[in-house]
């Protein structure tokens, strides 16, 4: 399928239209949410396999490896994938130019990530000592080197689909990728060689298959070339974002990398199980919202009503984040029992602390458009760097006393500092009149319900507080049920047309 007219369009028979509407953002985010819910379901099926067949230390090391790969890819690609939005929407005004950009991007990333992966392989031993505090295996890092380049290439087409707001294409292939990884893990389990090393190898094989399936479609609208000057707009946007993204990643992973130095790899396993459950909120809301959000608010750069639109979206996002947090908190004991088989009961407080952090992080996403649209990225990166330092300092203080719970609280503290500082920065350069009369009561009610749940073990009683919060939200905004129903109908129609989008 040919994807064109990306700036202001909604997918329909290869033509995109009406991207300026709130419904377009909501439908794209909802389609991403559908995909991530399916992916989360797949991940949840896999978590008990990991938790019950791997030692607790290797369960924690598995997540450390995953985050290490993300960090290496972030630095190795020099922020170019993040710069796609600016390049595709502000520097390229026609389909041909975008196809040339995509082709040049592939020819840049492939050799660079190949060399980066080779470097990781050659320095696997010292890297292993740093990551696992001398308690891990060198072969974990060696095989990760191969996964770095393979997953970089298999993920590039998905990044392009997301940037072009081709939500059906992105959602479909994201789910297919997850299914292939799950199939590889299931096959590994049947062979009775379920080790962390073999898991990494299985992921390499699954990503090779994904790459083979995706690239014929990717090349249909990518013109391969070596004119790297076409990437200038991506560099101009991606490089200023790189320090921000790197500092954000430091904030997110500092705790799990400091834990083994203070408490050992087993405590990392406790933290990671709590993170797996808290990440449900990120999978259901933050990830799909962020996938749709940045291309959307850039498409509103010339809209005089954009501040009012952003304010409305922020109010809805706060309610949705708090509701999701309460739902997960309510069923937390059941999830810990189901996923951990009784081995991870001590992860409960970690879940609660990280859930709060993800809500704060999600609210920060909604206040960020003003910073991007007024080009205050350097100042934002400085605030993110300070937030990372705050997080590291809190980890150093809290981990020796509270272990994995301390790491979770430190991460939440870093998010809180970042939200407060970026809110003030954004309001200074791009004032937005937020609906405080709705946001204030919603947050206060959510806080009460969240704290009250801690006094009850019964799932039914905990669920009652979720219902109370939902009723308060409807009272604050009576249009919510109707809007939700309209959105579900539109989402159903979009999913129905998915075959047309990938043909």
pLDDT recorded at residue 340: 75
| Whole-angstrom distance, CA of residue 474 vs CA of residue 467 | 11
Is pLDDT of 7 > 80?
A: no
* Position with higher pLDDT, 143 vs 18: 143
pLDDT recorded at residue 251: 92
pLDDT recorded at residue 17: 42
Structure tokens at 52: 């019950």
pLDDT recorded at residue 467: 94
Q: What is the mean pLDDT of residues 160-164?
A: 76
**234 contacts 90 by C-beta, under 8 angstroms:** no
337-391 tens-digit pLDDT: 888 777 888 899 999 999 999 999 999 999 888 898 888 888 988 999 999 999 9
- Cβ within 8 Å of residue 20, ≥6 positions away: 8, 299, 300, 303
pLDDT bin (cut points 50, 70, 90) of residue 434 is very high
| Closest CA relative to residue 136, chosen from 123, 127, 145 | 127
pLDDT recorded at residue 9: 38
Q: What is the mean pLDDT of residues 124-141?
A: 91
**313 contacts 433 by C-beta, under 8 angstroms:** no
**440 contacts 386 by C-beta, under 8 angstroms:** no
Q: What is the mean pLDDT of residues 462-490?
A: 82
3-state SS, 375-389, equals CCHHHHHHHHHHHHH
| Whole-angstrom distance, CA of residue 379 vs CA of residue 384 | 9
**73 contacts 152 by C-beta, under 8 angstroms:** yes
pLDDT recorded at residue 93: 64
What share of the chain in percent tops pLDDT 70? Answer: 87
pLDDT bin (cut points 50, 70, 90) of residue 499 is very low
pLDDT recorded at residue 448: 94
Is pLDDT of 413 > 80?
A: yes
Q: What is the mean pLDDT of residues 61-72?
A: 91
pLDDT bin (cut points 50, 70, 90) of residue 18 is very low
Q: What is the DSSP string of 148-182?
A: HHHHHHHHHHHHHHHHTT-HHHHHHHHHHHHHHHH
pTM of this prediction exceeds 0.85:
no
Give residue for tokens 């960020």.
Answer: 368
Tell me the pLDDT of the chain averaged across its residues.
Answer: 83
- Cβ within 8 Å of residue 157, ≥6 positions away: 173, 214, 215, 217, 218
Domain positions in the chain = 22-502
- Cβ within 8 Å of residue 340, ≥6 positions away: 48, 51, 273, 347
pLDDT bin (cut points 50, 70, 90) of residue 297 is confident
**168 contacts 494 by C-beta, under 8 angstroms:** yes
Q: What is the mean pLDDT of residues 413-429?
A: 95
* Position with higher pLDDT, 498 vs 446: 446
Is pLDDT of 20 > 80?
A: no
| Whole-angstrom distance, CA of residue 217 vs CA of residue 393 | 46
């Amino acid at each position: 399928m040919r994807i064109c007219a990306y700036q202001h369009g909604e997918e329909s028979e290869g033509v995109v239209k009406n991207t300026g509407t709130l419904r377009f953002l909501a439908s794209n985010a909802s389609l991403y949410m559908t995909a991530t819910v399916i992916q989360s379901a797949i991940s949840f099926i896999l978590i008990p396999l990991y938790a019950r067949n791997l030692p607790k230390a290797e369960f924690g090391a598995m997540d450390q490896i995953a985050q290490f790969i993300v960090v290496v890819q972030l630095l190795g690609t020099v922020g170019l994938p993040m710069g796609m939005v600016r390049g595709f929407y502000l520097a390229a005004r026609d389909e041909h130019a975008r196809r040339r950009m995509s082709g040049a991007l592939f020819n840049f990333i492939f050799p660079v990530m190949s060399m980066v992966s080779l470097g990781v392989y050659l320095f696997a031993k010292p890297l292993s000592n740093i990551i696992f505090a001398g308690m891990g295996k060198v072969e974990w890092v060696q095989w990760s080197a191969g996964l770095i380049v393979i997953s970089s290439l298999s993920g590039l087409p998905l990044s392009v689909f997301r940037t072009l707001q081709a939500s059906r294409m992105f959602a479909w292939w994201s789910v297919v990728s997850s299914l292939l990884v799950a199939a590889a893990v299931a096959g590994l389990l049947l062979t009775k060689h379920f080790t962390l090393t073999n898991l990494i190898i299985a992921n390499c094989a699954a990503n090779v298959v994904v790459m083979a399936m995706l690239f014929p479609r990717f090349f249909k609208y990518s013109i391969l070339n070596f004119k790297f000057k076409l990437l200038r707009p991506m560099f101009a946007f991606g490089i200023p974002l790189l320090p921000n993204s790197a500092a954000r990643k430091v904030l997110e992973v500092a705790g799990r990398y400091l834990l083994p130095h203070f408490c050992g790899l087993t405590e990392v396993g406790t933290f990671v199980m709590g993170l797996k459950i808290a990440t449900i909120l990120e999978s259901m809301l933050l990830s799909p919202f962020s996938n749709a959000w940045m291309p959307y608010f850039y498409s509103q750069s010339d809209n005089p009503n954009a501040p009012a639109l952003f304010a409305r979206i922020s109010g809805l996002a706060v309610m949705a984040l708090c509701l999701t947090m309460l739902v997960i908190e309510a069923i937390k004991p059941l999830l810990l029992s189901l996923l951990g088989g009784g081995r991870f009961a001590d992860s409960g407080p970690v879940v609660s602390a990280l859930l709060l952090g993800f809500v704060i992080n999600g609210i920060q996403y909604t206040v960020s458009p003003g910073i991007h649209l007024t080009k205050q990225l350097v100042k934002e990166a400085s605030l993110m760097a300070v937030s990372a330092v705050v997080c590291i300092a809190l980890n150093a203080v809290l981990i020796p006393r509270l272990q994995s719970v301390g790491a979770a609280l430190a991460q939440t503290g870093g998010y809180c500092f970042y939200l407060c500082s970026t809110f003030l920065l954004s309001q200074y350069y791009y004032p937005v009149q937020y609906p405080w009369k709705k946001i204030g009561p919603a947050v206060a009610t959510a806080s009460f319900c969240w704290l009250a749940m801690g006094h009850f073990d019964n799932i039914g009683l905990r669920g009652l507080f979720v219902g109370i919060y939902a009723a308060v939200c409807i009272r604050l905004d009576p249009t919510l049920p109707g809007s939700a129903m309209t959105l579900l109908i539109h989402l159903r129609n979009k999913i129905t047309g998915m075959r047309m989008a990938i043909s």
